[in-house]
Amino acid sequence: MSNQDQALAGGPLKIAIVTETYPPEINGVANTMRYLATGMAARGHAVQVIRPRQPADATCVPDSSCEHHLVPGLPIPGYRSLRFGLPVYWRLRRLWKTNPPDLVYIATQGPLGHAALAAARSLKIPSVTGFHTHFQRYSQHYGLGLLTRQIEKRLKHFHNHSDATLVPTEELRAALIAEGFENVYVFGRGVDTEHFAPSRRSAELRRTWGCGPEDLAVLYVGRIAAEKNLALALAGFRAIQERRPEARFVLVGDGPEFGALKQQHPDLIFAGARRGDELAAHYASGDLFLFPSLTETFGNVVTEAMASGLPVIAFAYAAAGAYIRPWINGVPVALGDEDAFIAACVQCVDDPERLRRMGSEARKTMQDSGWERVLARAEELLCAVIHQRRANNANGVLSCKPG
């Protein structure tokens, strides 16, 4: 029996995941791809990760549950520490012709992603694309606003040439369908509630920030970059500071704006990029999380902060729109209403007891949002795509349970 027949009969799948970014890089797409790759491997599937070779590969050992294929890349403008993969079409075609996967999942729409989609189509391998980044929104922050319509057109063309496109929320699914995207399904996001937890709170870390037990630590985690709308977070914190002069603002992350902002705001704490237990401790040691971004497809940091016991102030879309209940576990603000965002910052800190209650409720909200249920749904979606493409050769109903 062939590998394809085994998959259709309910046996393990062979899944190729193509992504421009993967841990130890720190961003939402990288983390999501790690959870997808290792999660599918843990469920009994053979997973192949194809990604650009990154500088960090010299010192970090990749997870052993997956087969890694590293391809050449070039630095991403504005993010010199990251690289995008070159369009290695013939390399992928040879690899997959010799040992074809049951499905190719393409997470990013750079040259590597386009080459992977073309190779999969040429070999008649089922393909799924992930909509992980709002490139059309990002373009407005990097002097490419005039190209927004062209970018949208190219994205739609790319995704519609795959068998299905997966998005993190029902809200985004509806928006893309309205724009003409086809075969769009929801692949949600989970959060590691054991890793991101209030128990990680560190009095010692807070002391390094200049915070005692009753002092206020305001947190931001994410890229220090133009598209994250950090000017609004800074304005919100300055308004908080007028009410709570002892408050500290801790920004965790790195990016092209890091040096300039650190120089302009020497009183703030720029913690740099953190990962693992250090990142979890930074989350849990805060008291309030500000997230002013308007460019998210999901925003994993929102759920990580909530799991860590922090109330979140964010615009009411993506993860914030799905999980934040007004003044119960945080404050969702009408999209783009900067005055309301700043007002929410002030109102939150005016009542310390309510702030603590919202933090406790935030943790409760996320306790049942682990990755296992999300990965089970992703497995169903990937199997359904394979089944649809090979329905004429399938016998019975595809259950796709690893044997």
Task: Identify the DSSP state of 157.
Answer: H
Return the ∠ at Cα 200 (arms to 194 and 206), rounded to 5°: 155
- From 261, 273, 265, select the one nearest 225 (Cα to Cα): 261
Which pair of tokens denotes residue 285?
């040691």
pLDDT of residue 153: 85
Nearest to 345 by CA among 202, 242, 260: 242
Q: Residues with Cβ < 8 Å from 288, sequence gap 6 or more? A: 216, 217, 218, 219, 310, 311, 313, 345, 348, 349, 355
For the stretch 46-91, pLDDT in tens is 999 999 988 777 667 677 899 999 999 887 665 556 667 889 999 9
> In this structure, how many other beta carbons lie within 10 angstroms of the beta carbon of residue 398?
19
pLDDT on residue 3: 46
- CATH code of domain 3-190+370-393: 3.40.50.2000
- Map tokens 């319509």 to a residue: 149
- CB-based contact 95:122 (threshold 8 Å): no
Check residue 132 and give its pLDDT. Answer: 76
CA distance 23 to 30: 6
Residue ranges, comma separated, of all CATH 3.40.50.2000 domains in the chain are: 3-190+370-393, 198-366
Q: Give the pLDDT score at 134.
A: 47
DSSP string of 298-358, one letter each residue: S-HHHHHHHHTT--EEEESSHHHHHH--BTTTEEEE-TT-HHHHHHHHHHHHH-HHHHHHH
The pLDDT value given to residue 266: 97
Residue-level pLDDT at 397: 44
**Look-up of token digits 């194809």:** 50
pLDDT of residue 7: 47
Whole-number pLDDT of residue 123:
95
Task: Answer yes or no: are the C-beta atoms of 253 and 223 closer than 8 Å.
Answer: yes
At the fourth CATH level, the homologous superfamily of domain 198-366 is Glycogen Phosphorylase B; (3.40.50.2000)
Taking only the tens of pLDDT, the chain with its 403 residues reads 344 444 444 579 999 999 998 988 888 889 999 999 999 999 999 999 999 988 777 667 677 899 999 999 887 665 556 667 889 999 999 999 999 999 999 998 889 999 999 999 999 999 999 997 644 444 343 444 444 567 678 899 999 999 999 999 999 999 999 999 999 999 999 999 999 999 999 999 999 999 999 999 999 999 999 889 999 999 999 999 999 999 999 999 999 999 999 999 999 999 999 999 999 999 999 999 999 999 899 999 999 999 999 999 999 999 999 999 999 999 999 999 999 999 999 999 999 999 999 999 999 999 999 999 999 999 999 999 999 887 744 444 444 444 3
**For residues 139 and 150, is the Cβ–Cβ distance under 8 A?**
no
What pLDDT is stored for residue 78 in this prediction?
Answer: 58
Using alpha carbons, select from 7, 21, 24, 19 the residue that is nearest to residue 82: 21
Per-residue DSSP letter, 363: H
| Cα(10)–Cα(225) distance, integer angstroms | 45
Q: Are strands 73-76 and 79-85 parallel, antiparallel or unpaired?
A: antiparallel
